[in-house]
Structure 1
Amino acid sequence: MRPPSWLAQHLAAGRALLVCTVLLGLAYPLAMVGIGRLPGLAARADGSPVTVADRTVGSRLIGQSFTDPDGSPIPRYFQSRPSAAGDGYDPTSTSASNLGPEDVVDTIAGGPAESTRSLLTRVCARSKAVGEFDDVDGRRPYCTPDGVGAVLAVFRRDGLTGPATRVVSVNQAAPGTPFLASYEGVPVELATPGHDYRAEGGVITPVRGDAPARPAVPADAVTASGSGLDPDISPGYADIQVERVARERGADPAALRRLVREHTTGRALGFIGAPAVNVLELNLALDREFPVRTPDDQAG
């Protein structure tokens, strides 16, 4: 006697489920674990850890910050790029800021803790800080000298057209001085917390300023990677840090540039991606060849 069609279908589905569970839930994972234990692959499967004197100090694949207990960058070390993963390079919270190039207006509330900085202001503040830290020109287009986005809300007589009647520097609040005294003959005001000048009819107008078209501070020094875990920086960012690190370690800048070149990897397959410098490996090489003066400032 043949079983009912519905029962035959359920039995076939059960057999398919069992086969898929064995193959994909057991056999495949165990095969991948076994392959990961092969010589030459085990370290990568374990996360490419970096060890010094039997102590794991980091991973070649995950960046880390080289800062003191107060969060300030340690001058003796090359610094990594910013991270938007958790509190910084948190593998359990990998993420980007999800802010785009049109995010140029800060949300100014009653206090700093309640305010939200735009992507433009974050870039401007980081560039200013890197410029001061590494003694290079930290100016960028569309940034004010005090490190916020140089953005105006321009109110015009006829809405989008006509002469300007009121101008507000939307990312600068009192006390302070507007980055422009006037715009189209109209005095520039400071922003008042809690106001949405775009909703009030202001035309958002970024102002380029007199910064060089090619900033001295490279893009990877002021923006986080998509994952927030990037362990590398560009050779350009490493280069502007050489003089500072050499000065702090009493080393020859030429010797440090040689060290940077030794830890620079080229494009994958010769054309994919860009040259990169692994910051952890570079700083460990620094400690070996140009030891720091204090024992509490070791990389990792």
Structure 2
Amino acid sequence: MTFLSRMPSWVGHHLAAIRVVIVLTLVLGLGYPLAMTAIAQVPGLRDDAQGRTSLIGQSFLDKKGHPIPYYFQSRPSNAGTGYDASASAAGNLGPESTVDVLGPDGKQSLLTQVCARSRAVGELEHVDGSRPYCTSDGVGAVLGVFRDGGTTGKATRVVSLDQACPARPFLATYEGVTVTCAKAGEDYGAAVVTPVRGNAPAHPKVPADAVTASGSGLDPQISPAYAALQTPRVARERGMTEAAVHQLVEKYTSGRALGILGEPAVNVVQLNAALDRMHPVKGA
């Protein structure tokens, strides 16, 4: 009879557990880190692994929060105050978020955020920044319609819910009723929320990624369409030809993974760093 056969069963269980801990420690605590370090030295990955090329987005704004005109702009970010790696987060607002909370402690709906961003990008790039369901002053084109039957019947009162007084409503009348601006703190819960599409083009000049944040809030990429929209401005501000800027954009554009997954994307951080190296702005 061997020694192991004479041991109590609980001792055998403890020895088995110890062996598992030792094996996992060697594999996951030593083998895995060494393997990842080795993989990171593969040409093409080495620069990213050593931190010389950022994989986290950043804002290219001045001290007042305005876009710096000689940089390509990143997409919006909900990570902290913007691209805060310690606060990666999404806005957690969905398509039903159309009505603003007005007042000093108010909160913009997702619709108004999109409208305001589209208007600002349009002004920066000198293009039409209008979008469906947005007013010309950059908030949601949303009416609160009070009806004599509750949710049905004749309209008796109409309020432009996202245009705080003394703003001029985007519509003068709706169903024969004068539209009024909204007052902070007033309860419009009984109104039927009615978004109004307006006459904006079905395909806005400002791309979707220019007005919406990524899920992580840290993505350094923008769409080729957004990069193309910004190319004339960056070329003008840096004294370059648009063709030269376009060549750099193409250099920092990645294609679909495996040729089929995802969409082409432009790394803004790498692109702006390359512009600073090759075509620095005097006095910047």
TM-score, scaled to structure 2: 0.89
Q: In 2, distance between residues paired with 1:233 and 1:214?
A: 18
Which of 214, 221, 239 does residue 232 from structure 1 map onto? Answer: 221
Which of 217, 237, 241 does residue 248 from structure 1 map onto? Answer: 237
3-state SS, counterpart of residue 292 of structure 1: coil
Kindly tell me: are residues 263 and 41 of structure 1, through their superposed partners in 2, closer, same or farther at Cα, counting changes over 3 Å? closer
1:90 aligns with 2:84: yes
- For 1:70, the equivalent position in structure 2 comes to 64
Long gaps (5+) in structure 1: 51-58
Following TM superposition, by how much is the alpha carbon of 1:14 offset from its aligned partner in structure 2, in angstroms? 4.3
Query: Which deviations, in whole Å up to 9, do the C-alpha atoms of 1:213-260 show, x marking residues without a partner?
Result: 100000011111111111111111111212222222233223323332
TM-score, scaled to structure 1: 0.85
Following TM superposition, by how much is the alpha carbon of 1:157 offset from its aligned partner in structure 2, in angstroms? 1.2
Q: In 2, distance between residues paired with 1:243 and 1:23?
A: 53
- For 1:55, the equivalent position in structure 2 comes to none
- For 2:117, the equivalent position in structure 1 comes to 126
3-state SS, counterpart of residue 96 of structure 1: coil
Give the total of aligned pairs. 280
Query: For the aligned residues, what is the CA RMSD?
Result: 2.2
3-state SS, counterpart of residue 189 of structure 1: strand
1:286 aligns with 2:279: no
1:100 aligns with 2:91: no
1:176 aligns with 2:167: yes
- For 2:259, the equivalent position in structure 1 comes to 270
Identity of aligned residues (%): 62
1:28 aligns with 2:32: yes
Following TM superposition, by how much is the alpha carbon of 1:3 offset from its aligned partner in structure 2, in angstroms? 4.9
Task: Kindly provide the amino acid, as one letter, of the partner of residue 88 in structure 2.
Answer: T
Q: In 2, distance between residues paired with 1:259 and 1:63?
A: 18
1:154 aligns with 2:118: no
Long gaps (5+) in structure 2: none
Query: Which deviations, in whole Å up to 9, do the C-alpha atoms of 1:74-132 show, x marking residues without a partner?
Result: 111111111111121122211111111111111113x1xx1111111000000000001
3-state SS, counterpart of residue 171 of structure 2: coil
Greater mean deviation of Cα atoms: 32-41 or 122-131:
32-41
Task: Kindly provide the amino acid, as one letter, of the partner of residue 95 in structure 1.
Answer: A
Which aligned runs of 4 or more in structure 1 are off by greater than 4 angstroms? 1-8, 37-40
Which of 49, 72, 75 does residue 45 from structure 1 map onto? Answer: 49
Task: Kindly provide the amino acid, as one letter, of the partner of residue 33 in structure 1.
Answer: T
